[in-house]
Structure 1
Amino acid sequence: MIQGIPGASGIAIGRALLLSRNAAVVKRETVPQGEIGRELIRIDEALGRTKERLQRLRCETERKLGEREADIFAAHLAILSDPELEEEIRRSVSEEARSAEAAVTAAVRLLADEFEAMDDAYMRERAADFRDLGQALLEQLGGAGLSPFAGIEEECILIAYELTPSDTAQLPPLVRGFVTEAGGATSHAAIMARSLGLPAVVGARAVMQSISDGDTIVIDGASGAVWVNPSPQRLGVYERKRAEWQAGVAADREQAGAEAVTLDGRTIALGANIGSAAEAGNALANGAEEIGLFRTEFMYMNRDRAPDEEEQVRQYGAVFAAMGARPVVLRTLDIGGDKELPYLNLPAEPNPFLGWRAIRLCLDRRDLFDAQLRAMLRAAGADGQLRILFPMISTVSELRRAKAAVEEAVAGLRREGSAVPERWETGIMIEIPSAALLADVLAEEADFFSIGTNDLTQYTLAVDRMNEHISALYDSYHPAVLRLIRHVVESAHARGKRVGVCGEMAGDPSAVPLLVGLGVDELSMNAPSLPAVRRIVRGIRQAEACGLALAALGLEDGHQVRELLERGL
């Protein structure tokens, strides 16, 4: 038995497949002086193509798994945009006459080695990010071969020294689980495996030397145990454990039609976060009672122009058709910060997360905003349960201007004879402390609140979650964040308004009792998380959850809150 670190719970049994990576070969270390200009052009082109690839991966990952899992690709984009890395690569070519491949390899190795030598485990694991970027750049330079997964034709357990975030995001369905030598519980591969529901063990020393292709492998993701060619008796034990685990997953899914009602009778509405109309079916299959967040910005990304009104009507209309009489929350364009649209030619900003983005951009670019609002209203038609959600509201005047734009769109469509809902709702994202603190005033104007815990945490704690040097300070369980959530809930309920949570916290099983205790009415998450969250809600008592939340509000930091949650209700 090989003991590793638990990466993602679950039991997987299958034949081993050792990941054979076609490493890029640096054919020339140096180039003649006359070719330096060409090498610099190759680097510029490779950087551009790599950024485009990372943007696609980021969008796909956020749609499928969520914002937290996609954050790594946003971080990679930030690293590639850091002048220090590019300057080191270009300096290596210009001053040392290195080839583009040799310069990239040297610069990435230098940075990866620096991080790997750090004392902090989390920072050591970030060395994989630099190796991932280096591999991506070398592929764009033409130095690497096929995808490492190109030869997978049957179900297997993947064995690797390391899986980068890009690897994990692109794992084929035939991979039933994985084991890596490198990495820890906070590595991006482990985090993404948990979101994928894929059993995984990380940090298993010498696993590449201990396992051969075709060996029978058993992974116990909860304990970190890896068994190689187990005895028939042990294999039988784990086959029964796997059946029990799979039955538990199936049981959660069978409860998809049941209401999320606590043991003492409080109902929590459960919704799904989606990024495309195609995901509505999966949301329903996992028991979504509503679309709690449609991230419409994905329709605008990875293309050379904005979608026109008709295209948007088709996309939104497909969601309303799939959901029937269930509510659909459509968030207006939330672009800027780490989400860029090159065709808008937005000016570069020193701090884009605090800049011209989301509702601020939409209120200035009424051509974009009006087309989107018209499309939303037309798609809902006369019968759709439309809820329009405005992101990054920080002042009452912004909300009033946004609501006025909706009214104008409605009036225009009615003049044209288009069917629009008799009634719709307008709500706001609570993700800026000013909005949280003004919740009592904003509740007079908004029909509902949706708390975005990711950004609310970032802005409250003044922590850029993309900055690896301080990202450990980013903690949604911090009592300061919890107190803001409680204030928002109390302010909204005093005025008869609902409060939902649509950030990553909503789908975190350990956070569910806390959020229920804080009084949240709705939880919206990525569809695969819905069955487990429903089971948790149905197994707790509101009164006990309230006591837990009250205790959490009086603690000093997120670490103490987690300890409280681990002790349970």
Structure 2
Amino acid sequence: MEIYKGASAFAGIAIGKIRFYRKGEYQIRQHQADDVKKELKNFDVARRHVMQTLKEEYDRMSEKQMDTADPELDMEPQPLDRIVKVNGENGTNQILEQAELLGSGSFLRAVQSMITGEKVTAAYAVQTTRDEMQSTFSRLNDPTIKERIHNVSRISSLLLEILGEDENKIDLGEEPVILAADALSLAELMEMDKEKLLGIVTRKGSATSHAAILAKNMDIPCVTGIGIPQSEEEWEDSIAIIDGYTGTIYLEPDNEVRKEYEIRRKADLVERESLLKLKDKGDITKDGREVGIYANIGSLDDLNSALYYGAKGIGLLRSEFQYLGRENYPGEEELFQAYKKTAETMGDRLVVIRTADLGADKQASYLEIPVETNPLMGNRGIRLSLDRKNLFKTQIRAIYRASWYGNLGMMYPMICSEEEMDEVEALVMEVKEELKAAGVPFKEIRTGIMMETPAAVMIGEELAKRVDFLGIGTNDLTQYTLAMDRQNPLLQKKYDDHHPAILKMIKMIVDAGHAQNCKVCLCGELAADTRLTETFLQMGVDALSVVPACILPVRKALRAVCIAEM
């Protein structure tokens, strides 16, 4: 038996076989092709269709430039590769370069080579080639290279529209397993079947990483910072025990330890069953003060859990998850349908949608976010949204359209100044005017600000005047206040989310909100820490929002508090 110690990301006990997740191996196995010749033919057919699309685009653009167009183009229609040679320097260069990539360029050769060499589907070869080229060149600031990356992304999207995108689910096998990995991204975790995961163990990451937060949403024991040996075969198919309470892994446990943890797992289930008696109880302290307990969710799959555990509503819908694990932007209609379903499912209960907090570790290749030296301090959250106003307006429109079907609220992440709020409010006004002009029904909805930077705390009252409620994001507030990357495993022992400065800032936000008649909800992971439930109630926090699996433990702690005796 070997014992490994890490950091607990989510409590619980799991016993089962270890399965290593190696990204390349899993992805290739999942997309193996039975008939390589057929895949090459499929790719060639798709390539010719895209070349024709580009040719038509080129001809339309050329008509607008007749005064400067090459006379040779007015003759019989020509293949685009011929046009490339004749007309390489005019205003249609971008289309010509895209055609060149498909005609004889490195992209074409790489896709064909991957289909033949690795025997994978055409769609997978296109996706992987695109991702590898973007990863290789994304750190370069040369405008020519950036243009090439854009062109690769464009032709990939056109090809995948024809080939169809391969199923994104990552196949973990037939039986549920404990998944071990070097690290897991949000997108990868979202592509896995929750029913096949008993627990998660990672070398890297931290208890407050976004992947760990998603594991909590999935109600899966998770331990990070484990010293997994480099020769991973030593662990493959071994029996392991995850103790998510202490952050301990037991590899090939002896009979005595296994028997003990079988008993503890049963006791854990009994404790959970006991907590279920509270799912229909109110969020009321001993002396009768009501403090709402809401749910943090990342997808529609979490709605049923929120309702099952008796959440008062959704305090934080992390809408950026809708932008991850996919190949292109979600459209307005797709977002609208998701928000509409959420609103209808929750009925009269409040649903707060946080606008997309993209950037930092929440990225997708199609977003083409430039590489930053320090992404956690970079262009993320509301900054990115205001830089890409079309993206932001699309989401705001979808939220307002869906507001007609329930009780929605909207919250903005990473606000640091009133100038940012000026821009946000101008966009919201534009959207409302456009919807009115189009005769689209919507409701006036409550808005809020995510208080997660020291700057926001220091101008708390000024910001509170602009909105109906404040949400406290303790995860980012802690890392920005302590100047520590919350996902850096080297800082796990120094990263203290109970630091007096953090608690003082929470109290300052509550006071600032109440001074402007704003309700204040604690939304970060700290809200689920039952050691601080009494402290938060004493501060005057109006509501707590936690992952669904933590609702009942927090409710139990809340119902034991008597504020009058404090």
**Matched residue type, 1:489:** V
Q: 2:223 touches 2:244 (CA, 8 Å); kept in 1?
A: yes
**Matched residue type, 2:358:** I
**Matched residue type, 1:389:** M
Q: Does structure 1 residue 534 correspond to structure 2 residue 555?
A: yes
Cα–Cα, structure 1 residues 339 and 171, in superposed 2: closer, same or farther, change >3 Å? closer
* Among 543, 549, 553, the residue aligned to 1:522: 543
CA drift at 1:454: 1.2
**Matched residue type, 1:281:** N
1:397 corresponds to which residue?
A: 419
Q: 1:426 touches 1:448 (CA, 8 Å); kept in 2?
A: yes
CA–CA distance in structure 2, aligned partners of residues 503 and 187 of structure 1: 10
* Among 332, 342, 345, the residue aligned to 1:322: 345
Q: 2:12 touches 2:245 (CA, 8 Å); kept in 1?
A: yes
Within 5 Å, give how 1:143-542 maps onto structure 2. 150=173, 153=175, 164-166=182-184, 173=195, 196-198=219-221, 228-229=254-255, 242-381=265-404, 384-421=406-443, 423-470=444-491, 472-542=493-563
State which drifts further: 398-407 or 166-175.
166-175
Q: 2:214 touches 2:298 (CA, 8 Å); kept in 1?
A: no
Mark the structure with the bigger radius of gyration.
2
**Matched residue type, 2:532:** A
Cα–Cα, structure 1 residues 11 and 369, in superposed 2: closer, same or farther, change >3 Å? closer
Cα–Cα, structure 1 residues 468 and 384, in superposed 2: closer, same or farther, change >3 Å? same
CA drift at 1:375: 0.9
Cα–Cα, structure 1 residues 536 and 165, in superposed 2: closer, same or farther, change >3 Å? farther
Secondary structure of the residue aligned to 1:450 is strand
Which digits, 9 at most, give the CA deviation of each residue in 1:414-472, with x for residues without a partner?
Answer: 22211111x31111010111111111111111110001111111222222224445454
Q: 2:295 touches 2:546 (CA, 8 Å); kept in 1?
A: yes
State how many pairs are aligned. 427
Which digits, 9 at most, give the CA deviation of each residue in 1:212-265, with x for residues without a partner?
Answer: 9999x998876879774469xx96x98776544322202223322222212122
Cα–Cα, structure 1 residues 316 and 229, in superposed 2: closer, same or farther, change >3 Å? same
CA drift at 1:277: 2.4
CA–CA distance in structure 2, aligned partners of residues 535 and 315 of structure 1: 32
Q: 1:403 touches 1:426 (CA, 8 Å); kept in 2?
A: no
1:108 corresponds to which residue?
A: none
2:99 corresponds to which residue?
A: none
CA–CA distance in structure 2, aligned partners of residues 293 and 430 of structure 1: 13
Q: 1:456 touches 1:481 (CA, 8 Å); kept in 2?
A: yes
Cα–Cα, structure 1 residues 174 and 374, in superposed 2: closer, same or farther, change >3 Å? closer
**Matched residue type, 1:298:** F
State which drifts further: 263-272 or 352-361.
352-361
CA–CA distance in structure 2, aligned partners of residues 251 and 431 of structure 1: 35
The Cα RMSD (Å) is 4.8
Q: 1:149 touches 1:172 (CA, 8 Å); kept in 2?
A: no
Secondary structure of the residue aligned to 1:429 is strand
CA drift at 1:497: 0.9
Q: 2:520 touches 2:542 (CA, 8 Å); kept in 1?
A: yes
CA drift at 1:203: 9.2
Cα–Cα, structure 1 residues 354 and 254, in superposed 2: closer, same or farther, change >3 Å? same
Within 5 Å, give how 1:19-38 maps onto structure 2. none
State which drifts further: 285-294 or 350-359.
350-359
CA–CA distance in structure 2, aligned partners of residues 22 and 368 of structure 1: 33
Cα–Cα, structure 1 residues 249 and 363, in superposed 2: closer, same or farther, change >3 Å? same
Which digits, 9 at most, give the CA deviation of each residue in 1:369-404, with x for residues without a partner?
Answer: 2221111011111x5212111111111222233123
Which digits, 9 at most, give the CA deviation of each residue in 1:274-319, with x for residues without a partner?
Answer: 2222322222122221111112222223334322211111111111
CA–CA distance in structure 1, aligned partners of residues 213 and 333 of structure 2: 38
CA drift at 1:363: 2.7
CA–CA distance in structure 2, aligned partners of residues 291 and 464 of structure 1: 28
CA–CA distance in structure 2, aligned partners of residues 191 and 362 of structure 1: 23
Cα–Cα, structure 1 residues 50 and 257, in superposed 2: closer, same or farther, change >3 Å? farther
Secondary structure of the residue aligned to 1:356 is coil
Q: 2:479 touches 2:485 (CA, 8 Å); kept in 1?
A: yes
CA–CA distance in structure 2, aligned partners of residues 323 and 193 of structure 1: 23
Alignment TM-score, normalising by the size of structure 2 = 0.62
Cα–Cα, structure 1 residues 463 and 17, in superposed 2: closer, same or farther, change >3 Å? closer
1:29 corresponds to which residue?
A: none
State which drifts further: 237-246 or 187-196.
187-196
CA drift at 1:328: 0.9
Cα–Cα, structure 1 residues 475 and 230, in superposed 2: closer, same or farther, change >3 Å? closer
CA drift at 1:517: 2.6
**Matched residue type, 2:343:** F
